[in-house]
Chain A
Amino acid sequence: MGAAQILQYLLSGVTTGSIYAIVGIGFTIIYNATGIINFAQGEFLMLGGMIAISLHGFLPLPQAIALAVVATGLCGVGVQLVFLSWLRRPDILRMIIITIGLSILIREAALHVWDEKVHALVYWTGDETSSLAVLGARISPQLLWVLGACALMVASLTLFFRYTLTGKAMRACASNATAARLCGIRLPWLVTLSFFLAAAMGALAGCVVSPMTQTQYDMGTSLAVKGFTCAVLGGLGSVGGAVAAGILVGVLESASISVLPLAFKDVVALTIMLAILLVRPQGLFAAIGRKTGPL
């Protein structure tokens, strides 16, 4: 295998990996605010992509994407307000089942609004044949869009959590909800905001990746499982960890294609996840001494 080919695998791995990372961060945001793993997280990517594809029928691309992101964010808010906000101290099993049920309802709704076919948004610049030469490897310009969008999201999220009052309030809730409430932080509003953020981020990821990997109504589940893998690998709750884990999973997955049949691509990522969960449940990149973990 030549150096250019390795670079090719690496780049495509980093690209898919950064999408997994975004899904993982979506899990993280909602988990931090509520302690819930939202199994419908993958559906937000599908919704974002689908809405943008439909809107692009009569709107220019940037507006279509912006509207799709906002609309999906509002869907996330709607899900939270209608289904989850009024539950008092639900147990975990109940929340798991509700969010799984919601993911199915969103998926089935998408099946009926759109159809079972594979759709794709147009390339943001150029088309499927255009490519850039990077150190001998040929890559699609869309790949740069994916990396750029993911980097932008991660950077702005980090700034948001670190320097804004709202971001700090969300972190306070994650570390101790009761203490945060005693300090006058209004928890319900933050929970709604976390659903908006997670859904909107998912939608943007869904739009940026749609030209390359296509959008289909049932794409959510595998994305959710892989995104969760990254969230856990990165130590649930950490944005940087999720990114590192996402890139790791993406590269391993794209390397697996050169060894195994394409059909087993998903098996690789999920087997890694199972293995990691069992060996190192606190995550690969988890801060030492942090007390969140599955055991």
Chain B
Amino acid sequence: MADWRPSCPLPALKKRADVLATIRRFFSARNVLEVETPLLCRAGITDPSLHPFTTFLHQPGGSTGDRLYLQTSPEFAMKRLLAAGCGSIYQICKAFRNEESGRYHNPEFTLLEWYRVGFNLARLIDEIDALLAEICCDDLNLELSERFSYRELFREYVGADPLVASFEELAECSKIRGLPEAGELCGGDRSLWLDLLFSHLVQPSLGRSRIAFVYDYPAFLPSLARKKPDDPLVVERVEIFLEGLELGNGFYELADAVEQAERFDRDLVVRTENGLPLPAKDERLLAALRSGLPDCAGIALGLDRLLMILMRAESIDDVLAFPTARA
């Protein structure tokens, strides 16, 4: 068995350690508190496109027990800490997503997630920019970052408006741009249309030798972002791209418990329609929101993908010691 060896070259381990040290220095200098929250969670995730790993908790000597989930992100637990008044926090942790494997996906991956109390999205973007500049400065020659609205990019690369274009129009644009299968694939599901066209036609061009921030995402795409007060069609969400790769996703965080509960319910309706498991809503998160989430913005960054770019790696396996296949 030759696969006892790490699948990444040893310099990738060193680079990972350097990146972690840089992140900790960065946040320490800014008085952001490092925290840990459970990887094993009692509440599942309602997002229909996420498939969590599940296991069972047995009491000593017991053979049956409560269902637990491996977290798909530390978001809910970190928001509970925020609601408890801990101030700005960050965490470097593993997250787990079943049914996600490929060149850019390992079912177990490393996230950096942080929340800034009192920040709006623009201030958070500035901080992400500063952190990425520090992490990347030794390996990449990045030009100044760019910021685009989702709608403007979509119009440019797809040729139609993501919010109002008819499905026929989207199908026509897809055909011209080499995706004749799009119409049959997406039918009348606008969020599927947008996921397909953005990931296939827009994303590959984003962030070429500079970081691209994309903001003002359509409101009907799933997220935990606030609606924009002056434009109910979009939410205060930002995505980060570098070298065509999606690195992270940030929000001006939704603090309204009622709206959060409604979004959970909407997710559960979609899950029911698709025959997916129906996890319980995270009541502890809802209770925390009801007790009051401070005004804050937060972001999750995929560190393995960032390492891929720093190491110029072809596959996520080239930056992981032991990807799931040889874990």
Q: Do A and B bind each other?
A: no
